């Protein structure tokens, strides 16, 4: 498996010195990629601080790409509110100046507020997504592109530079609808925090749909992670019930065997919390399910960001990383 890291480009710990100073160290530790989120207007989740600092994702990746050499640069995920021609240009430029290190995740989530404030119709979100994907793919591979769709229209557009290499498009989201969008439009699926029973249901569904199309899919996930040499300290301030409803897609999750998310163990797949043995055991469950990529989300304790990455590089990378 490959391992990525969600950067602290939001909230109280977001500082340029950290983002640009830590990125080369993350690369040196052996992680494969770094990832960013997307918000038009950032409203913190309940598990985050009230600090509304949020660095724009594509600009953040451009800066990080300039201070690293091989580290992959991913979005998890961009909301399709950018004019498709501009999005194609932004991602192609990032690919070109980073020697093709870009993976572009897109997703809708519960983005009605964002759509409304971008002048787009939330009721037509699937059409926005589909046309955006169609347009960026054509602009990256063709010249003199003309498009007259339901939402976007333009004539004779050519774009240089093209991406340095094909940009994988992956879809976020934890619902079955998200899986259908991933298989129908994208090259992969990388949901955010998702419980293991729900992940199993979605993977079975995805693999059935992909087999019907003869399609190979990049598969990943983004679990919350709290790593500590002291197992009790890793788990002592976790609120399982809050995390069990922390996603907008939680109402569609398959409940754990216990029937509810009432303990840390009920959150398997969604949360990895504990010492070396815990981390290795929980990552092994993801490996057994054939995932290609795990993006480590350390936001529950960004104040221990580098300390946790050092532990995980010591414990997890030698066991699972190619």
- Under a CB-based contact definition with an 8 Å cutoff, are residues 53 and 12 in contact? yes
pLDDT band of residue 109 (cuts 50, 70, 90) is confident
The pLDDT mean for the chain works out to 95
> Residue 35 forms beta bridges with which residues?
6, 74
pLDDT number for residue 248: 83
- Ranges of H-type helices in 3-161: 16-29, 57-66, 84-97, 112-116, 125-141
Q: Class for domain 2-320, per CATH? A: alpha beta
CA angle 220–225–226, rounded 5-degree value: 170
Least confident of 52-61, 102-111, 275-284: 102-111
Least confident of 18-22, 45-49, 230-234: 45-49
205: nearest Cα among 234, 227, 174, 228: 174
Task: Report, as an integer, the average pLDDT of 123-136.
Answer: 96
Residue 110: pLDDT above 80? no
pLDDT tens digits for 233-286?
999 999 999 999 988 889 999 998 888 999 999 999 999 999 999 999 999 999
Secondary structure (H, E, C), 149-211: CCCCEEEEECCCCCCCCCCCEEECCCCHHHHHHHHHHCCEECCCCCCHHHHHHHHHHHHHHHH
216 CB-contact burial (10 Å; exposed 0-12 / middle 13-18 / buried 19+): exposed
pLDDT number for residue 263: 94
- Under a CB-based contact definition with an 8 Å cutoff, are residues 163 and 91 in contact? yes
Count of beta carbons in the 10 Å neighbourhood of residue 303: 11
Instruction: Quote the percentage of the chain above a pLDDT of 90.
Output: 89
pLDDT number for residue 41: 82
pLDDT tens digits for 280-310?
999 999 999 999 999 999 999 999 999 999 9
pLDDT band of residue 322 (cuts 50, 70, 90) is low
Domain ranges of the chain: 2-320
């Amino acid at each position: 498996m490959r391992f990525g890291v969600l950067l602290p480009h939001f909230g109280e710990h977001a500082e340029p010195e950290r983002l640009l100073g830590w990125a080369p160290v993350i690369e040196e530790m052996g992680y494969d990629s770094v990832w960013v989120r997307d918000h038009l207007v950032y409203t913190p989740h309940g598990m985050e601080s009230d600090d509304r600092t949020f660095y724009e994702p594509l600009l953040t990746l451009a800066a990080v790409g300039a201070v690293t050499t091989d580290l992959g640069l991913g979005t998890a995920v961009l909301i399709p509110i950018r004019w498709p021609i501009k999005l194609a240009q932004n991602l192609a430029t990032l690919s070109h100046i980073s020697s093709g290190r870009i993976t572009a995740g897109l997703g809708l989530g519960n983005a009605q507020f964002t759509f409304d404030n971008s002048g787009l119709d939330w009721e037509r979100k699937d059409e926005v997504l589909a046309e955006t994907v169609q347009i960026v793919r054509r602009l990256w591979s063709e010249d003199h592109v003309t498009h007259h769709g339901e939402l976007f229209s333009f004539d004779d557009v050519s774009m240089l530079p093209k991406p340095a290499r094909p940009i994988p498009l992956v879809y976020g989201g934890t619902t079955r609808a998200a899986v259908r969008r991933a298989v129908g439009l994208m090259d992969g699926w990388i949901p955010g925090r998702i419980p293991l029973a729900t992940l199993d249901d979605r993977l079975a569904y995805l693999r059935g749909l992909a087999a019907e199309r003869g399609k190979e899919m990049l598969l990943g996930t983004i679990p919350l992670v709290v790593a500590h040499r002291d197992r009790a300290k890793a788990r002592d301030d976790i609120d399982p019930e809050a995390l069990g409803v922390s996603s907008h897609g939680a109402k569609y999750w398959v409940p754990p065997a216990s029937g509810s998310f009432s303990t840390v163990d009920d959150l398997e797949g969604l949360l990895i919390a504990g010492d070396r043995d815990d981390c290795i055991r929980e990552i092994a469950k993801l490996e057994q399910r054939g995932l290609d990529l795990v993006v480590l989300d350390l936001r529950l304790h960004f104040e221990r960001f580098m300390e946790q990455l050092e532990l995980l590089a010591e414990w997890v990378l030698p066991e699972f990383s190619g």
